[in-house]
Structure 1
Amino acid sequence: MSLTIHVAWLGLGSNLDAPADQVGRAIEALAADPNLRVLAKSSLYRTAPVGGPAGQPAFCNACVAVAARCDAYALLDITQAIEQAHGRVRDVRWGPRTLDIDMLAFDDLMLNDPRLTLPHPRAAERAFVLVPLAEIAPALVLGRQGRVIDLCRDAGTVGVERWRAA
């Protein structure tokens, strides 16, 4: 792994098998990785599903900032391994899932290849990403898309509310 320290912002979500617990355990797994340090984490948010099949349960979403002693591809490998450990199955696009971890940004890297696009290409239009991200990184600039706080204001908060335990 690299000696250089990078900062990455991740979006986490779950709508199956105790979603808030899934997101919490994923954040713990990120913190336990020797190449990562969690710098900030947002509150948990209950959000309406976007896209995918109808009738899905609500999602629990959050964002974290991590210091990474690895490159973006190694971080992607780490996040995908955590998803897999949580039983993630990729059979229906935007369908229900135990855990989803999206890399939203990695330093100011702009990347567009088959394996990874940064900043995340749809982050700027998704309130379920922008609201928790604005809580921890309002001034973050998502490439050419703009500042998180401005994007959040433009996207609105419909369908996004603080998570309340059942």
Structure 2
Amino acid sequence: MNAPGWRMAWVGLGANLGDPAATLREALAALAAHPQVRQDALSRFYRTGPIDSSGPDYVNAVVRVRTTLSPLALLDLLQDIERRHGRERPYRNAPRTLDLDLLAYDGQRLDTPRLTLPHPRMHQRAFVLRPLSDIDPGMTLPQGPVDELLRACADQAVFPLD
């Protein structure tokens, strides 16, 4: 189904400072504006409590895109969009204006100092699994099917934003 050269990628979006829902919409528009990225599917927006951090609740979503960018070039684009939205990294898991995580890329496995694919902790995070299940309920991660992994995270509250 992919045209030659185009690959599928899944990106997690999150924010908990400023107007998180508006920031996610702006980030999605910036991503879609890139000529080598096309939005394929978008989950609902969810409100979630911080995991391993503090601060206000997050708004999270997952977008599936088609891209001709390599995984590292896509990561560069995501980090540029974060910077344009005031993302700072004062300490690990600090509250953030915008967080864009490359979750998976066309079934590839990658382990470099800059990027690990699939994302090494997404199977433990309901704020990733719930929106991922919206767009790809049958998806299987290395740790198992998304819906089974989501049931294992039942203690993590995830509420539709609307």
**TM-score, scaled relative to structure 2:** 0.94
- Residue 153 of structure 1, aligned match among 148, 151, 154: 151
**What RMSD, in angstroms, separates the aligned Cα atoms of the two structures?**
1.1
1:80 alignment counterpart = 79
Report the CA distance between 1:28 and its aligned residue: 0.8
Cα distance change of structure 1 residues 48 and 57 upon mapping to structure 2, 3 Å threshold:
same
Equivalent residues in 2 for 1:56-75, closer than 5 Å: 56-75=55-74
Name the SS of the counterpart of 1:8 in structure 2. Answer: strand
Q: Say how many residue pairs are matched.
A: 159
Counterpart in 2 of 1:50?
51
Find the counterpart in structure 2 of residue 138 from structure 1: 137
Q: Calculate the TM-score normalised by the size of structure 1.
A: 0.92
The match for 2:19 is 18
Partner of 2:95: 96
Partners of 2:124 and 2:109 lie apart in 1 by 18
CA deviation vs aligned residue, 1:15-56 (integer Å, no higher than 9, x gap) = 01100001111111111111100000001000000012x3x0
1:39·1:65 contact (CA, 8 Å) conserved in 2?
Answer: yes
Instruction: Point out where structure 1 has 5 or more consecutive residues left out of the alignment.
Output: none
Q: Percent same amino acid at aligned positions? A: 47
Q: Is the 8 A contact 1:131 1:157 kept in 2?
A: no
5+ long unaligned stretches in structure 2: none
Question: Segments of 4+ in structure 1 off by > 6 A?
Answer: none
Q: For the Cα contact (< 8 Å) 1:11–1:101, is it kept in 2?
A: yes
Q: Following the alignment from structure 1 to structure 2, what is the Cα–Cα distance between the partners of residues 89 and 74?
A: 20
